[in-house]
Amino acid sequence: MQAVNHANLYRYMSKPWDETDLGLTVKEALRRYEQEQQLAAQNQALQKINLKLQREIAERSRVEEQLAHDALHDTLTGLPNRAFLMKRLDGVIQMAQADSSYQFAVLFIDLDRFKIVNDSLVVHQLNFDQ
């Protein structure tokens, strides 16, 4: 009906009409209808593509977050690693240099025979994955 209205077919419904003019108007109505159908199909295809892209972007963002986390945390324990410590130390040193009233301290804890505990967890993890 919208194509009929756009093509002004209502002009010919209650009065005599010129067949050539009517034919051109009908052709125009059909052309517009086909264009609307094509446009609707293209819009639907674009919506599917956009949804797929949104999913890919979300997955890529999740992977990037995981990589950023893994770069600064131990994969076995999930605890912050040396790179994390160095990054944080750089930050607090810069803050202390910028503001002389800013103070900080670093506490190191040495765990005796931690290698034994760590190695036992690694072996357990390897056996679990097999």
Q: Tens digits of per-residue pLDDT, 32-77? A: 999 999 999 999 999 999 999 999 999 999 999 999 999 999 988 8
Residues facing residue 73 across a β-bridge: 80
Nearest 5°: CA angle at 116, between 111 and 118? Answer: 80
Residue 16's pLDDT is what?
Answer: 67
CA distance 69 to 31: 56
Lowest mean pLDDT across 9-13, 74-78, 89-93, 99-103:
9-13
Q: How confident is the model at residue 26 (pLDDT cuts 50, 70, 90)?
A: confident
CA distance 128 to 116: 18
Lowest mean pLDDT across 22-31, 71-80, 81-90:
22-31
Q: Is the pTM of this model over 0.85?
A: no
Residue 104 contacts residue 92 (beta carbons within 8 Å): yes
Average pLDDT, the chain: 84
Q: How confident is the model at residue 105 (pLDDT cuts 50, 70, 90)?
A: very high
Return the structure tokens found at 92.
Answer: 């607090």
Residues in the chain: 130
- The SS3 of residue 106 is coil
